[in-house]
Structure 1
Amino acid sequence: MNIKEQVIQLTKEVIIDLVDCNYTKLKENNVLNEDTEQLVKTAVEYEGKITLPPDNMEIDLYEYNDNSGFGTETYLWFDDEESQLRLFCEAKTNAEKTEITHFYIDDIDA
């Protein structure tokens, strides 16, 4: 699996953990911090229950111009419908882009 595929896979795993309300696991893995946890909880309160998107969901992947890593963006699903809320994740990599050094939720926004 190349580095871009790894970033996409990690994003999918985060979505599964959000659906399963595995906030403790996400925090232990430094994927979620206090601020992003509050964003997620506020979104859930407002939108409803986070549900799994279809297997063919689109995850946009962006490579940073400064070569520090990648960002992903995908729409979240609530109550089995695509919402206007987007999940933004970041993957920091080593200089050679052969290893992900840190992966985390950056933001949730409409």
Structure 2
Amino acid sequence: MDVQQIISMLKPLVENLVEGEYQLIQLTGRSGPYTSEELKELVEEYGGKLTIPPDEDYKNINIIEVEEESEYFIEYELWVDGEKSDLTLSCTIRFTEDEVRIMIENIHVL
């Protein structure tokens, strides 16, 4: 498992969420089972404003190997109003011979 590669997939997704680029997330196949409107609702229901976390916070990713180093389940606590929150981004990262894909599984309070 290459943690840096996982971070390189997670970081742009978090940045897109912070910028409210839900349609871009959906168009690039990273929204999982959600539409762009549903992603927006999940974030807005929590309240506050998503903010960019400091780079060193990406060391706090919860990474669970799903099967033989080809798939990982990731949980990352998003930052709201400049502070770490309990609003958690859950996603799956799949490594194949051709590509690496990240997809949102849920955005929820842990």
Q: Distance in 2 between matches of 1:91 and 1:36?
A: 19
Matches within 5 A, 1:5-84: 5-33=4-32, 35=34, 37=36, 38-57=38-57, 58-65=60-67, 67-84=69-86
Segments of 5+ residues of structure 1 without an aligned counterpart are none
Same amino acid, percent of matched pairs: 30
The TM-score normalised by the length of structure 2 is 0.79
CA RMSD of aligned residues (A): 2.4
Task: Return the letter of the residue paired with 2:90.
Answer: F
Q: Which amino acid aligns with 2:49?
A: K
Any stretches of 5+ residues in structure 2 without a counterpart?
none
Per-residue deviation, 1:43? 2.7
How many aligned residue pairs are there?
106
Distance (whole Å) between structure 2 residues aligned to residue 13 and residue 54 of structure 1: 13
* 1:13-62 per-position Cα deviation (integer Å, ceiling 9, x unaligned): 10001111111211111001562641442332432110011211122222
Seen in structure 2, the aligned counterparts of structure 1 residues 40 and 68 have a Cα distance that, compared at 3 Å, is farther
Taking a change above 3 Å as real, the CA distance of residues 53 and 33 of structure 1, as seen in their structure-2 partners, is: same
Q: Which amino acid letter does the alignment assign opposite residue 8 of structure 1? A: I
Structure 1 runs (4+) deviating above 3 angstroms are 65-68
Who is 2:94 aligned against? 92
| CA shift in 2, pair 1:34/1:61, >3 Å | closer
